[in-house]
Amino acid sequence: MAETINQWAVITIVLSGLALCVGVYLIRRGMREAHMRAMIVAVALASVFLVLYLTRLSLGYEKKYDGPEEWRTAYFVLLISHIILATANLPLALGALWNAVKGLKAAGNLGNIDAPAARGYFNRHRAWVRWTVPVWLYVAVTGWIIYIVLHSYGEVIKG
């Protein structure tokens, strides 16, 4: 069961990363409503991933690196940077989401985001996402790489 949960976790985080990329593309094209929908999908899928990942860990399913020795240092540097930035990504994403929601409430609708009551929230939203998007993408991509490495060179540890 834990292996199935792990596979679904990988699927959800891959889709979340893709939805994030679509959301960035859409906002750069000025398509605010489509951007908002893509980002809701990205956040929802990332949330499902987190629940699945924590469930898998609670079931005692883990893999340890058992690959070529010459890759060990690179693997652990990647893993440690992934863990640190994944931990930082949650408050970054929440800060970006909080300001977007508050801005939308203050604006009343996406066509009115330049309203004085909303402007500050959307400015802060943009400031947060300048950090959040690159971190989120790094965490997603390194997570995929770690999954592939452990799929090929991982040994299951059952706790």
CB 40 within 8 A of CB 23: no
Residue type, 29: R
Dihedral angle at the C-alpha atoms of 115, 116, 117, 119, nearest 10 degrees?
80
Q: Say yes or no: domain 2-158 is CATH 1.20.120.
A: yes
pLDDT digits (tens, 9 = 90+) for 99-143: 999 999 999 998 898 899 999 999 999 999 999 999 999 999 999
pLDDT digits (tens, 9 = 90+) for 67-105: 999 999 999 999 999 999 999 999 999 999 999 999 999
What is the chain's alpha carbon radius of gyration, rounded to the nearest angstrom?
Answer: 18
Helices (H), 29-68: 32-58
Q: Above 70 in pLDDT, residue 15?
A: yes
CA distances from 56 to 61, 76, 115 (A): 6, 21, 45
Distance CA 50, CA 59 (A): 14
Helical packing angle, 69-107 and 116-153, nearest 10°? 160
